[in-house]
Chain A
Amino acid sequence: MTSTTTPGAAPAPTSTAQRTTIAKALNAGMRAAMERDPKVLLMGEDIGKLGGVFRITEGLQKDFGEDRVIDPPLAESGILGTAVGLALRGYRPVVEIQFDGFVYPAFDQIVSQVSKMHNRSLGKLKVPMVVRIPYGGGIGAVEHHSESNESYFAHTAGLRVVSVSTTDDAYWMMQQAIASDDPVIFYEPKRRYHERGVLDLGGGVPDLADAPHRLDEAVVRTEGSDVTVLTYGPMVKVALAAAQAAELEDGPSIEVVDLRSLSPMDTDTIEASVIRTGRCITLSEAPTFTSIHAEMAAWVQEHCFYHLEAPVLRVGGYNIPYPPSRHEEVFLPDLDRVLHAVDTVLNY
């Protein structure tokens, strides 16, 4: 099922609803999960006293102790590998990778062990862990700090891969990911950490059944009739801005689908949208070659072929190493590139 919401737009405000940031919503989500289940523990470089380099875990070590908010030695494979052992012992580790480009030393543990343990044991073993990765560019960082490497993990069976774009999703999807019996690679759009939305934090530990969407469900963020933009994470905001700009100028009507989950992909929502609009653009910061873009485009042509008025266009990062930050402005897809692609598919 899909619903129509806009990031930052308030659900019916209640007495406990407040404007908060994605960063604080993630923190609140982890706190709720830790209060709900004493087996949940956090592990990552500098996440204790410092609260992580982005302060996402701020205050949690103070409240839950050093055995539940663990500052491990600085070794990503070590962190992931020991998290596997902890999961086998019955814990639910939530691992923070400090930056996207630092996950590679742990790649082997994630794809060789974490993803396959349940399958290898014919269902007898579970490794219910979350790997949090602040990802994407736009913050003027040095190399290895701005990558969108979600395709590597979405390509690996056994892993769930999700990305959030709103405070609401940050809060609820974090808790859903931790509660999942499957390992979840949880992508956090770092340049959106401080964007605000209205979130009802209520009081006490929330009931996960109250989450507005399932963890693997896509959401139509704004409806449109001429072209579908399939996107997720930090680019949702860009897509919505493009839709709004087009609307203001009496231009084409753009529908924005926020995938939320990259694996599994909610292909029902994708197909329904593209069949309705007849045109499709994929949008993410990731280089387009053999990417989530490529999967979305292939899926649409395979399943919506007779409904398409134009080829699917991919708007993404160029197929180069993430460039020095002085190039970011033109490397990262922006509103103009989205509108240019919209014009292209409409004029096909």
Chain B
Amino acid sequence: MSDEEVARPAAPNTLEGTQPDGTPARGAHEPPEKDITDGGPDMVQFLDGEGRRVPVTEVSSPYAAYLDDLDDEALKGMLRDLILVRRFDAEGFALQRQGELGLWPSLLGQEAAQVGAGRAMRPQDYAFPGYREHGVAWCKGVPPENLLGMFRGVNHGGWDSGEHNFHLYTIVIGNQMLHGVGYAMGVQFDGDYATGDPERDTAVMAFTGDGGTAQGDYNEALVFAAVKNAPVVFFVQNNHWAISQPNDKQFTVPPYRRADGFGFPGVRVDGNDVIASYAVSRAALERARSGGGPTLIEAFTYRMGAHTTSDDPTKYRISAEVDIWKKKDPIDRMRKYLLAEGIVDDDWLAAVEEEADELARRIRHACQTMPDPPHEEMFTYVYAEQHRLVEREAAEFAAYQAGFEDEGER
């Protein structure tokens, strides 16, 4: 199939395209979006699909300075992150297929958006994820094996969110956007922003997908953030599919444009370009930390796999669309770029691949040897303080179970 055949005409009132001066075009006379794989002229991009630096444009120039901060080590670190996160994700998928996990939500294709955002965050910045943000978790220092517990069914989130400033995964779409705004309001009350102290000034980044932008909580979060001028960055990974629904069923105005209606800037970034994702995130986080208020980032990317291991994308989308996005692969382009620049070589890449193999082995071993929690733990953390009913049931449960032990049945 041709590219033409995968193009989904936008709804007639879609406000796509820009004026020659770069401002958003308004009006139904604009031609509809031709191709859902094209982020359009508003999209900030520094690396094209072939890994070549694209000229700085009026749209990307506000972010170009942040690339100066990226020395060779930082660039290599990002490529390493992309490769290791993808390998971790692949292992998660395989473990689910082998019956070790009940479910796995793959981030395949979204590595650059997440690593770019994650590497832009400072240690004190707090992330509020959905449930696919394995790359952000990686950047925030959450041991990847800890992400498996909830999908294996041994807990509801096996990491200390306060230790990593990475909140537990949130399954109900959009809930966490409000938590992020509330946390950011707390940052304001604590005076931990706009002080000029880079160790102290704090921002929050709240993550969701394009499907999440339809939720009430998402929209309420944007209202609260705007009114409170909260130090929060909304990071929407537009991966183009909300389970089986394409995003022309989620919105008629793309997410970055909607920020304008809430009263703060929105920017679309190439989510498959890790350095662009980094630069745009840095700019937004620094704006938030310095008291400038919220920003909405739409990372224009693609979910290469299924929504989770439970669905079958061949039932709802055509392979030609996937093939086009394969050519935009975030790892390929970063690898080509760093090879061409002489920043990495084949030996370095081989060493990272070896590291990825080791990571995969570690993950697999950790998953397979993860102990089941003692059943009585079900009752342990329901309340922070004494609760008569829970205590009573815990005691009844223990007595009932002890009966089996007496009979030697366990």
Interface residues of A in 106-137 (CB under 8 A from B): 108-109, 112-113, 116-126, 128
Interface presence of A75 (CB below 8 A): yes
* Interchain pairs with CB closer than 8 A, number: 149
When distances are taken between beta carbons in the complex, the residues of chain A under 8 Å from B183 are 85-86, 88-89
CB distance from A75 to the nearest CB of B (A): 4
Asked whether, in the complex, the Cβ of B384 is within 8 Å of the Cβ of A126, the reply is: yes
Asked whether, in the complex, the Cβ of A90 is within 8 Å of the Cβ of B186, the reply is: yes
Evaluate whether A109 and B221 lie within 8 angstroms (CB atoms) in the complex, with A67-B189, A118-B382, A264-B389 already known.
no
Asked whether, in the complex, the Cβ of A86 is within 8 Å of the Cβ of B175, the reply is: no
Asked whether, in the complex, the Cβ of B220 is within 8 Å of the Cβ of A182, the reply is: no
A157 to B382: give the CA distance in the assembly, Å. 7
1/0 per residue, CB under 8 A from B, across A49-90: the answer is 000000000000000000100001101011011111111111
CB distance from A345 to the nearest CB of B (A): 26
Interface presence of B178 (CB below 8 A): yes
CB distance from B261 to the nearest CB of A (A): 15
A89 to B387: give the CA distance in the assembly, Å. 25
When distances are taken between beta carbons in the complex, the residues of chain A under 8 Å from B382 are 118-119, 157-158
Q: Of B181, B190, B220, which contacts A85 at CB under 8 A?
A: B181
1/0 per residue, CB under 8 A from B, across A196-229: the answer is 0000000000000000000010000000000000
Closest to A267 in B: B388
Closest to A112 in B: B172
Interface presence of A105 (CB below 8 A): yes
Asked whether, in the complex, the Cβ of B186 is within 8 Å of the Cβ of A85, the reply is: yes
Interface residues of A in 256-289 (CB under 8 A from B): 263-268
Q: Name which of B31-39, B155-163, B247-255, B264-272 contacts chain A.
A: B155-163
Asked whether, in the complex, the Cβ of A85 is within 8 Å of the Cβ of B180, the reply is: yes
1/0 per residue, CB under 8 A from B, across A294-325: the answer is 00000000000000000000000000000000
Interface presence of A329 (CB below 8 A): no
Number of B residues, CB within 8 Å of A: 45
Evaluate whether A75 and B384 lie within 8 angstroms (CB atoms) in the complex, with A84-B182, A88-B182, A120-B157 already known.
no
1/0 per residue, CB under 8 A from A, across B165-186: the answer is 0011010100101111111111
Interface presence of B383 (CB below 8 A): yes
Asked whether, in the complex, the Cβ of B388 is within 8 Å of the Cβ of A265, the reply is: yes
When distances are taken between beta carbons in the complex, the residues of chain B under 8 Å from A343 are none
Asked whether, in the complex, the Cβ of B175 is within 8 Å of the Cβ of A91, the reply is: no
Interface centre among A121, A160, A266, by most chain B C-beta atoms within 10 angstroms, is: A121
Interface presence of A35 (CB below 8 A): no
Asked whether, in the complex, the Cβ of A181 is within 8 Å of the Cβ of B388, the reply is: no
When distances are taken between beta carbons in the complex, the residues of chain A under 8 Å from B217 are 77-78, 81, 108-109
Number of A residues, CB within 8 Å of B: 49
CB distance from A284 to the nearest CB of B (A): 19
Evaluate whether A123 and B179 lie within 8 angstroms (CB atoms) in the complex, with A86-B186, A89-B186, A263-B389 already known.
no
CB distance from B250 to the nearest CB of A (A): 19
Interface presence of B359 (CB below 8 A): no
CB distance from B407 to the nearest CB of A (A): 26
CB distance from B255 to the nearest CB of A (A): 19
Asked whether, in the complex, the Cβ of A122 is within 8 Å of the Cβ of B179, the reply is: no
When distances are taken between beta carbons in the complex, the residues of chain A under 8 Å from B172 are 108, 112-113
Closest to A181 in B: B384
Asked whether, in the complex, the Cβ of B185 is within 8 Å of the Cβ of A123, the reply is: no
Interface presence of A180 (CB below 8 A): yes
A86 to B154: give the CA distance in the assembly, Å. 28
A343 to B364: give the CA distance in the assembly, Å. 69
Interface presence of B352 (CB below 8 A): no
Closest to A263 in B: B389
Closest to A105 in B: B216
Evaluate whether A81 and B223 lie within 8 angstroms (CB atoms) in the complex, with A119-B381, A121-B168, A182-B383 already known.
no
Closest to B149 in A: A122
Asked whether, in the complex, the Cβ of B224 is within 8 Å of the Cβ of A73, the reply is: yes
Interface residues of A in 216-249 (CB under 8 A from B): 216
Asked whether, in the complex, the Cβ of A77 is within 8 Å of the Cβ of B220, the reply is: yes
Interface presence of B380 (CB below 8 A): yes
Asked whether, in the complex, the Cβ of B381 is within 8 Å of the Cβ of A157, the reply is: no
Evaluate whether A124 and B387 lie within 8 angstroms (CB atoms) in the complex, with A77-B178, A84-B182, A113-B175 already known.
no
A180 to B389: give the CA distance in the assembly, Å. 17
When distances are taken between beta carbons in the complex, the residues of chain A under 8 Å from B167 are 88
Evaluate whether A82 and B185 lie within 8 angstroms (CB atoms) in the complex, with A72-B224, A119-B156 already known.
yes
1/0 per residue, CB under 8 A from A, across B386-408: the answer is 11111000000000000000000
CB distance from A317 to the nearest CB of B (A): 25
When distances are taken between beta carbons in the complex, the residues of chain A under 8 Å from B318 are none
When distances are taken between beta carbons in the complex, the residues of chain B under 8 Å from A78 are 178, 217, 220-221, 223-224
Interface presence of B68 (CB below 8 A): no
Interface presence of B385 (CB below 8 A): yes
Asked whether, in the complex, the Cβ of B227 is within 8 Å of the Cβ of A124, the reply is: no
When distances are taken between beta carbons in the complex, the residues of chain A under 8 Å from B157 are 120-121
Asked whether, in the complex, the Cβ of A109 is within 8 Å of the Cβ of B178, the reply is: yes
Asked whether, in the complex, the Cβ of B389 is within 8 Å of the Cβ of A265, the reply is: yes
Asked whether, in the complex, the Cβ of B384 is within 8 Å of the Cβ of A116, the reply is: no
CB distance from B103 to the nearest CB of A (A): 16
Residues of A within 8 A of B (CB): 41, 67, 72-73, 75, 77-78, 80-91, 105, 108-109, 112-113, 116-126, 128, 157-158, 160, 180-182, 216, 263-268
Given contacts A78-B220, A120-B157, A121-B157, 9 further A-B contacts (CB under 8 A): A75-B220, A75-B223, A78-B223, A84-B179, A85-B182, A88-B167, A105-B216, A119-B156, A124-B161
Q: Which 8 A-B pairs have the closest CB atoms?
A: A85-B182, A81-B178, A89-B186, A82-B182, A78-B220, A181-B384, A85-B183, A120-B156
A-B contact pairs, 21 of them (CB 8 A): A67-B189, A84-B179, A85-B128, A85-B180, A85-B182, A86-B186, A88-B167, A88-B186, A89-B182, A89-B190, A90-B186, A91-B189, A113-B179, A120-B155, A121-B161, A121-B381, A122-B155, A216-B388, A263-B387, A267-B388, A267-B389
